[in-house]
Amino acid sequence: MPHSRRDPPSNRWAFFAVLGLLGPGCGSSTAGPRAPFDAASPGRNAAGASGVSEAEGSDSTILGGPVSLDGVVNARQTGGLVTADGHRVRQNALIRSGQLSALTADGCDAFRALGIRTVIDMRSASEVSSDPDVQCVHTAASYYDADVPKILPPSEQSYLQTLDALEPVLAEVFTRLAASDALPAIVHCVIGRDRASLMTALVLMAIGVPVDTVVADMVSNQETEVQAAWMDGVVARVDQAGGIGAYLAGHGVSAQLTEALRKTALE
């Protein structure tokens, strides 16, 4: 599948490897009043801990990294990623992770301390039914099950099939995330690698993070292995639609929604 307006994949991912970015790596309820998202100090949760690791950079910017949620695998936030126009994703505003069904009491405390307001569960309805997120998740946050099937093994083709399944729920997911009180939010599947990472990648692209940065984060900011090439078909489909804005508009996600999300997700 052609890659319009982009470097050949092999050259592009080789460039990331040189930089060390390709390290080893997957119904609703409405909660009551929640603590406000502290935009003035986005890297801190209510307990005073950032919950992220610091990446080396010219300005010592914190870029993504682990989020401590006891009982949850592969919890990663995307704060510090830079958009094409120079804004940064707020710390802990957008988190992706594995399922929240084994969240411990300490994990629930950390979940509440992070001020999580929205949970987007990318698992299928049958997966949710057999292994539901723990009660503290539903008490603290607004919850939505996107009901997306698990398609394995991971590959460029399975990611395209996952994207097919995602497209009918994109408008609902973006509508929820773009609400003025929606962030911080967690997007999760079973291990936070495929469905959650793909949905988070589309969100990051929508708010202006360049695609190569999005894919580099998706690959390196993981507890499990992810290959950049798995995203090639997804990126090509977005390119062929005319870019992320046109692609999302074709699936019911308006420019007004993405702009509203930008205002809350970026600093």
Domain spanning 41-265: CATH 3.90.190.10: yes
Query: Phi then psi for 121, rounded to 5 degrees?
Result: -95, 115
pTM of the model: 0.80
pLDDT for position 62: 52
Portion of the chain with pLDDT greater than 90, in percent: 76
- Nearest-5° angle of CA 194, CA 207, CA 144? 50
Q: Where are the domains of the chain?
A: 41-265
* Sheet (strand 185-188) strand order: 28-29, 142-145, 118-121, 185-188, 94-97, 76-77, 65-66
Provide the pLDDT confidence category of residue 63 given band limits of 50, 70 and 90.
confident
pLDDT band at 48 (very low <50, low <70, confident <90, very high): very low
CB atoms within 10 A of CB 57: 10
Mean pLDDT of 206-212: 97
Q: Mind listing the pLDDT tens digit for each residue in 105-117?
A: 999 999 999 999 9
Residue carrying the six token digits 């078909």: 233
Q: Is residue 174 within 8 Å of residue 253, measured between CB atoms?
A: yes
Each residue's pLDDT tens digit, 138-192:
999 999 999 999 999 999 999 999 999 999 999 999 999 999 999 999 999 999 9
pLDDT tens string 238-250 = 999 999 999 999 9
